[in-house]
């Protein structure tokens, strides 16, 4: 599966949702997640993210992100069309500690 990781938080560009063939992105207030059981591993969303926030779970350290994506995909509504990014998306791209700020 592919997963959305920390740098999506507070950016939420949403380019990713436009290309997903199985509509497996789910939207929270500050970030999106991918449902790991619905993702077919096609990989087309990865290069679409301007914040480089989408990674394959085969990379090291991704277990926590698979868990995070699964947990919220089961709670949040599906998103299938692109919308405006969050207002400070550009400035906050690359900011450290966004996970802690928003999800602890």
Which residues here bind ligand F3S, judged by CB under 6 A?
Answer: 4, 8, 11-16, 32, 48-49, 51, 53-54
Q: Which is nearer to ligand F3S, 40 or 44 (CB)?
A: 44
42 binds, options ligand SF4, ligand F3S, none, Cβ within 5 to 8 A by partner type? ligand SF4
13 binds, options ligand SF4, ligand F3S, none, Cβ within 5 to 8 A by partner type? ligand F3S
The residues, any chain, with a CB within 8 Å of residue 11's CB and separated by 6 or more, are 50, 51, 53, 85, 86, 89, 92, 93
> C-beta of 63: minimal distance to ligand F3S in Å?
19
């Amino acid at each position: 599966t592919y997963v959305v990781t920390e740098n999506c938080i507070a950016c939420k560009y949403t380019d990713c949702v436009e290309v997903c063939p199985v509509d497996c992105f789910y939207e929270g207030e500050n970030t999106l997640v991918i449902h790991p059981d619905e993702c077919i591993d096609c990989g087309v969303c990865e290069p679409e993210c301007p914040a480089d926030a989408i990674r394959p779970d085969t990379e090291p350290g991704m277990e926590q992100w698979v868990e995070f994506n699964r947990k919220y995909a089961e709670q949040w509504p599906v998103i299938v069309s692109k919308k405006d990014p969050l207002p400070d998306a550009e400035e906050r791209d690359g900011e450290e500690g966004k996970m802690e700020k928003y999800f602890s």
